[in-house]
């Protein structure tokens, strides 16, 4: 896991417009490249000798190869957009960080079961979406099969058959309400979250293609 950190000092006269642009346009555009798992937008709490305000955006990325692809395929266009909108108003520098290890506190507020059968089982994705690895248990989803059709030609989905002999093996994780909302954002508009009953009798959420 890597973190691509971009630190920016923005002039006071352009501060409000830049923050709005970052939140509504730039950061969503970076995430839409599909290279990053998540982003955190933070303000640096120091008074700069140069004046202005300093912010940091930390994008989590699965590996160095994916980050290099971002530099080659996406960064030039995004940098051009920054210069077009705020040339001479900011100074930025980037830092690449490799995550050595992570430590987490158990979340007592996790109350929702989520059945997974795809990328949400991957540790790197979990860290990017939920900022923690998930501990789950095996269960099965009756009356469904994995669909031959993949979302965007890449991502799996399931198909309801109603046949008793059909079932899908997967992992069940316990999430908080806030984490469930993060999962919604990760899955995007191509999927919808539905309530299902597992073979164990537990009620859970699952994502299926729309």
Secondary structure E strands in 76-118: 90-98, 112-116
Whether residue 102 has pLDDT greater than 80: no
**pLDDT confidence bin for 208, thresholds 50/70/90:** very high
Strand partners, 53: 10
CA distances from 55 to 6, 7, 49, 141, 177 (A): 8, 6, 15, 45, 29
What is the chain's mean pLDDT, rounded?
A: 92
How many alpha carbons lie under 13 Å from residue 70 in its C-beta half-sphere? 24
What are the helix (H) ranges across 24-176? 27-31, 64-73, 75-86, 123-130
Q: Kindly report, residue by residue over 135-145, the tens digit of the pLDDT.
A: 899 999 999 99
Q: Would you tell me which CATH number, out of the four given (3.10.490.10, 1.10.3720.10, 3.40.50.10490, 3.30.70.20), belongs to the domain 112-209?
A: 3.10.490.10
Give CA angle at 26 (20, 6), nearest 5°.
Answer: 100
Distance in angstroms (rounded) separating the CA atoms of residues 210 and 34: 20
Sequence ranges of the domains in the chain:
2-98, 112-209
Q: Classify the C-alpha dihedral 76-77-79-84 as positive or negative.
A: positive
Length of the chain: 210
| Burial status of residue 128 (CB atoms within 10 A of its CB: 0-12, 13-18, 19 or more) | buried
Count Cβ atoms below 10 Å from residue 177 Cβ, excluding itself. Answer: 10
Whether residue 133 has pLDDT greater than 80: yes
Q: Is the pTM of this model over 0.75?
A: no
User: What percent of the chain shows pLDDT beyond 90?
Assistant: 78
CATH C-level class of 2-98: alpha beta
Secondary structure E strands in the chain: 2-10, 36-43, 53-61, 90-98, 112-116, 137-142, 144-146, 158-160, 167-175, 191-197, 203-209
pLDDT mean over 170-195: 93
């Amino acid at each position: 896991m890597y973190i691509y950190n971009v630190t920016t000092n923005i002039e006071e006269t352009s501060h409000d417009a830049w923050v709005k642009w970052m939140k509504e346009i730039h950061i969503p555009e970076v995430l839409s490249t599909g290279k990053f798992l998540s982003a955190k937008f933070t303000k640096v709490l120091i008074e700069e000798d140069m004046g202005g305000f300093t912010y940091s955006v930390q994008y989590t990325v699965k590996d160095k190869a994916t980050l290099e692809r971002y530099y080659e395929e996406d960064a030039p266009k995004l940098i051009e957009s920054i210069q077009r909108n705020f040339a001479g108003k900011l100074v930025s520098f980037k830092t690449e960080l490799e995550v050595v290890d992570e430590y987490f506190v158990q979340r007592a507020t996790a109350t929702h079961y989520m059945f997974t059968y795809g990328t949400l089982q991957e540790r790197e994705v979990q860290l990017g979406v939920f900022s923690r690895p998930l501990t789950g248990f095996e269960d099965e989803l009756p009356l469904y099969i994995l669909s031959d059709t993949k979302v965007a030609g890449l991502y799996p989905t399931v198909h309801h058959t109603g046949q008793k002999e059909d079932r899908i093996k997967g992992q069940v994780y316990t999430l908080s309400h806030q984490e469930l909302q993060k999962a919604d954002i990760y899955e995007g508009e191509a999927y919808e979250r539905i309530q299902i009953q597992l073979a164990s009798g537990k009620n859970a959420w699952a994502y299926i293609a729309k």
